[in-house]
A and B are shown apart, each in its own frame.
Chain A
Amino acid sequence: KAGVTQTPRYLIKTRGQQVTLSCSPISGHRSVSWYQQTPGQGLQFLFEYFSETQRNKGNFPGRFSGRQFSNSRSEMNVSTLELGDSALYLCASSSARTGGRGSWVQEAFFGQGTRLTVV
């Protein structure tokens, strides 16, 4: 079974630009979550999509957005990039959604991440 695939692996962008990252989950998984990892803040939850709907959202500004397609592939977009957006962006897929009582009892499978550098 193929794992979670994130593209591209590395990206360098200039301040003010926008960027789109892609995540292909494990076949059959309908939940895709996105995380930002930085040395200072650690792993921060961005949002989760389940069956093309955003179900949960972390505490990030509106410049961070995402979507999920009918085949469960997900994209994350960051507009008007800032230097502080430099980070490793990880996506994780799961067979269960994260929201709701008694949720998140399934393990999440992570991709290798996209290393974004904003200069």
Chain B
Amino acid sequence: SQQGEEDPQALSIQEGENATMNCSYKTSINNLQWYRQNSGRGLVHLILIRSNEREKHSGRLRVTLDTSKKSSSLLITASRAADTASYFCATDAIASGGSYIPTFGRGTSLIVHP
């Protein structure tokens, strides 16, 4: 099963609006990362937030982390058509044997209409 689950699965907005995506996970983590993927291509790293951080900003991106609720949110402000992509959260879940493996959610598909 997926460690991280994004919500909503799909989001359609107009250019200039804000887009908020949420990620929930099941086990404790060291850090959480957000990635973007344009259709059928590789993933691009957006931001990493550590478990002892509550909020982080990068340009038009704002990520929050609530470890008590095991959830994170990604806010894209003043969205642009170029932001159209799938967005994934990824955590370092503990695998059997005690080592950490990166685990991705199923992603939120964002469409920004010009």
Contacts and interface: CB of A to CB of B under 8 A. Distances in A.
Contacts of B102: 33, 45, 98, 104, 108
Interface of A: 4, 33, 35, 42-43, 45, 48, 55-56, 58, 88, 90, 92, 98-105, 107-113, 115
6 contacts: A42-B105, A108-B102, A109-B45, A112-B42, A113-B41, A115-B40
Interface of B: 2, 30-31, 33, 35, 40-45, 48, 50, 88, 92, 95, 99-107
A43 B100 contact: no
A111 B77 CA distance: 27
Q: Is the interface of B mostly helix, strand, loop or mixed?
A: strand
Contacts, number: 72
Contact of A113 (B42, B99, B104, B106): B42
A102 B106 CA distance: 24
B95 A56 contact: yes
Given A88-B40, A98-B92, A45 B31 contact: no
B41 A99 contact: no
Contact of B42 (A42, A58, A99, A111): A111
A10 B107 CA distance: 23
B42 A110 contact: yes
Nearest to A110: B42
Contacts of B104: 35, 42-43, 45
B43 A104 contact: no
